[in-house]
A and B are shown apart, each in its own frame.
Chain A
Amino acid sequence: MDMQIFLQQLINGASLGSMYALIAIGYTMVYGVLRLINFAHGDIMMVGAFLTYFGMESGLSFELAALLGIIGAAIVGILTDRIAYRPLRDAPKISLLITAIGISFFLENLFTVLFGATPKAFKAPEYITKVFHIGEIYLPISVIIIPTITLIILAIVLYILYKTKYGMAIRALAFDIKTVKLMGIDADKIIMIVFMIGSALAAIGGIFYAISYPSIDPLMGVIVGLKAFAAAVLGGIGSVTGAVIGGFILGFTEILVVALFPELGGYKDAFAFFFLILVLLFKPTGIMGQDLERGRF
Chain B
Amino acid sequence: MLKVKNLVVKYGVINAVRGIDLEVKKGEIVTLIGANGAGKTSTLNAIVNLVKKSGYVEFNGVDISKTKTHQIVQMGLSLVPEGRRIFINLTVEENLRMGAFNNDDKFEELKEQMYNRFPRLKDKRNQLGGTLSGGEQQMLAIARALMGTPKMLMLDEPSLGLAPKIIGEVFDIIIELSKTIPILLVEQNAFAALKIADYGYVLENGQITLQDKASNLLGNDEVRAKYLGG
**Interface set of A (CB-CB < 8 Å, partner B):** 165, 168-169, 171-172, 174-176, 178-187, 290, 294-295
Residues in B neighbouring A168, C-beta threshold 8 A: 90, 94, 97-98
Q: Which residues 42-74 in B have Cβ within 8 Å of A in the complex?
A: 48, 50, 68-71, 73-74
Whole-angstrom distance between the Cβ of A289 and the nearest chain B Cβ: 13
Given contacts A165-B98, A165-B101, contact A181 B69 (CB under 8 A): yes
24 A-B contacts, Cβ less than 8 Å apart? A165-B97, A168-B90, A168-B98, A172-B87, A172-B98, A175-B87, A175-B88, A175-B89, A176-B85, A176-B87, A180-B98, A181-B50, A181-B68, A181-B69, A182-B48, A182-B69, A182-B78, A182-B79, A183-B98, A183-B144, A184-B70, A184-B73, A185-B98, A185-B101
Q: CB-nearest residue of chain A relative to B91?
A: A168
Name A's interface SS.
helix
**Interface set of B (CB-CB < 8 Å, partner A):** 48, 50, 68-71, 73-74, 78-79, 81, 85, 87-90, 94, 97-99, 101-102, 104, 130, 144-145, 148
Residues in B neighbouring A185, C-beta threshold 8 A: 70, 98, 101-102
Given contacts A184-B70, A184-B102, A185-B101, contact A179 B94 (CB under 8 A): no
Whether A169 lies near B98 (C-beta < 8 A) is yes
Whether A183 lies near B89 (C-beta < 8 A) is no
From A165, A182, A185, A290, name the one whose CB has the most chain B CB atoms within 10 angstroms. A182
Q: CB-nearest residue of chain A relative to B76?
A: A184
Residues in B neighbouring A180, C-beta threshold 8 A: 98
From A185, A187, A294, name the one whose CB has the most chain B CB atoms within 10 angstroms. A185
Whole-angstrom distance between the Cβ of A291 and the nearest chain B Cβ: 11
In the A-B complex, the 8 residue pairs with the smallest Cβ-Cβ separation, listed nearest first, are A184-B73, A181-B69, A179-B85, A172-B87, A184-B74, A183-B98, A186-B70, A185-B101
Q: How many A-B residue pairs have CB under 8 A?
A: 74
Whole-angstrom distance between the Cβ of A170 and the nearest chain B Cβ: 11
Whether B148 lies near A171 (C-beta < 8 A) is no
From B48, B87, B94, B104, name the one whose CB has the most chain A CB atoms within 10 angstroms. B87
Whether B87 lies near A182 (C-beta < 8 A) is no
Whether B87 lies near A179 (C-beta < 8 A) is yes
Q: CB-nearest residue of chain B relative to A172?
A: B87
Residues in B neighbouring A176, C-beta threshold 8 A: 85, 87
From B68, B71, B94, B145, name the one whose CB has the most chain A CB atoms within 10 angstroms. B94
Task: Report Cα–Cα, A175/B85, bound state, in Å.
Answer: 10
Residues in A neighbouring B69, C-beta threshold 8 A: 178, 181-182
Task: Report Cα–Cα, A186/B98, bound state, in Å.
Answer: 12
Whether B88 lies near A169 (C-beta < 8 A) is no
Contact among A171, A178, A183, A295 with B101 in the assembled complex (CB-CB below 8 Å): A183
Residues in B neighbouring A187, C-beta threshold 8 A: 70
Q: CB-nearest residue of chain B relative to A174?
A: B89
Residues in A neighbouring B48, C-beta threshold 8 A: 182
Q: CB-nearest residue of chain A relative to B93?
A: A168
Task: Report Cα–Cα, A184/B49, bound state, in Å.
Answer: 12
Whether B50 lies near A171 (C-beta < 8 A) is no
Whole-angstrom distance between the Cβ of A126 and the nearest chain B Cβ: 46
Q: CB-nearest residue of chain B relative to A181?
A: B69
Q: CB-nearest residue of chain A relative to B148?
A: A184
Task: Report Cα–Cα, A114/B148, bound state, in Å.
Answer: 49
